[in-house]
Amino acid sequence: MRAGIGKIIALLFLVGMILTGVAVAEDRNVDISCIHCHSKQVSEFEKSVHFNYISCTDCHGGDPNISGSVVSINVMSKDFKGSPSQENLTSFCSKCHPQVTAKYEKSIHWKKVQEGRTESASCINCHGVHNILSSKNQDSPTHLENIPLMCSDCHENETKMQAWYYGIQTDRFDTYKKLYHYKAYLSGGRVLATCSDCHESHDVKPEDDPESSINPANLPATCGKTGCHPGAQNAYVYGGKVHEGKSVYFFSIDVKTLVTYFYILMILFELTFTFGLIFLGMSSNFRILRRKNHD
C-alpha cells in the first residue's frame, strides 16, 4: 500500500515539474525541450539581440515545429547539428549576415582558421555565443570602450602569439595604452581610435597585404576616415612605428627608458672621449712641429 502511495506521489511530483517547466517555457516563449537542460544558455539568449529574430534551431538544427508546451526529445531527431565548429561557423552566420561574413572570410583570422589554427578569432570569439549584444551596449565586448580589452584576450596571450605560431608580438595592448588615442580616454575624454578603427573590424589583414588598412599605401585613407583626421587622404604617410616598444618595469622604474638613456649617455661619453683623444693628439703633433721648426 505504501509502495503504491509512493509511486503516486512521485508521479504527481513529475507531472508538477513538467507543468512548471511548461509554464516557464510558455512565459519565455521558448521551447521547453531546450530550456529543460540548457537554462543558462537560454537565459543568456533571451538578453541577446537575436532573441526576437531567430531560435535555437536556426543555429543548432532540430525540428522547429516542436511545440514550446511539450517536453520532447524529438526536437533533436530532425536535422540536429549540435554546436557549429569553428571551421563551419561562417555558414551559419552568413544566413543573416552575408556581407559581414564575406568580409571576414577575406581576413587573416579566417585564413588561419582554414589552416587548422582553430584558436584564431571567429564570430563567437568577438561577439559571444548566446549572449550577443549590440555594439552600442556598454556590456558588449564589441562596444567601443571594450574593443582593446577584447582584442588583447588573444593578442596578449603568449601561447597564441609566440613567434613559431603567429609571429606577432604580445605587447599590442600595452603599447596602445601609450598612444594619444588611449591617453585621451584615460584623461577623461571620450574613446578615440581603437583597434578596429585602424585594423578594421571583420576584414583584418596583415600590413604587407596591399588591401590592408594599415598598408603604408592605405594609411592616408585609414587616418582620414570621417570623425578621425579629415584631409589626411591628401597627406603622405611615410610610415614608422605606431605601437611603441613594450615597457619593462622594475620597482616602478621603466627599465627600457633607463637602459635607453644609459646607452645615450654612454655613446655621448664615447664620442666625447674619442674626439678628446683626437684633439689631444693633434695638439701634441702641433707642439712637436713647433719645436722642430724652432730648433
What is the C-alpha to C-alpha distance for residues 289 and 247, in angstroms, rounded to an integer?
55
Say how many CA atoms lie within 13 Å of 153 toward its Cβ.
12
Least confident of 11-15, 89-93, 150-154, 162-166: 11-15
Rounded to the nearest integer, the mean pLDDT of the chain is: 78
Residue with more model confidence, 234 or 180: 180
CA distance 232 to 197: 15
* Mean pLDDT calculated for residue range 68-78: 59
153 has a pLDDT exceeding 70: yes
Mean pLDDT along residues 45-67: 82
Where do the domains of the chain lie?
A: 1-83, 251-294
CA angle, 160 then 162 then 168, to 5°: 90
pLDDT tens-place string over residues 249-282:
666 676 767 788 888 999 999 999 999 888 887 8
How confident is the model at residue 267, as a pLDDT?
93
In this prediction, residues 213-236 reach a mean pLDDT of: 81
- pLDDT the model gives residue 199: 92
pLDDT of residue 269: 92
Query: Where does the chain have alpha helices with state H?
Result: 2-28, 32-35, 39-46, 56-60, 89-93, 98-104, 108-114, 123-127, 147-155, 158-161, 172-176, 180-186, 195-199, 219-223, 255-294
**221, pLDDT greater than 50:** yes
> Phi/psi class of residue 48: alpha, beta or left (left: φ > 0; alpha: ψ in -120 to 50)?
beta
Q: What is the pLDDT of residue 118?
A: 82
Over residues 45-65, mean pLDDT: 84
Q: Would you state the pLDDT for residue 141?
A: 93
List, for residues 199-214, the tens digit of each pLDDT value.
999 999 998 899 999 8
Highest mean pLDDT out of 178-182, 184-188, 202-206, 223-227: 202-206
Q: Is the pLDDT of residue 27 over 80?
A: no
Residue 54 confidence class, pLDDT cut points 50, 70, 90: confident
Q: pTM for this one? A: 0.67
Q: What number of helices (H) and strands (E) belong to the chain? A: 15, 2
Whether residue 31 is predicted with pLDDT greater than 60 in this model: the reply is no
DSSP code of 142? T
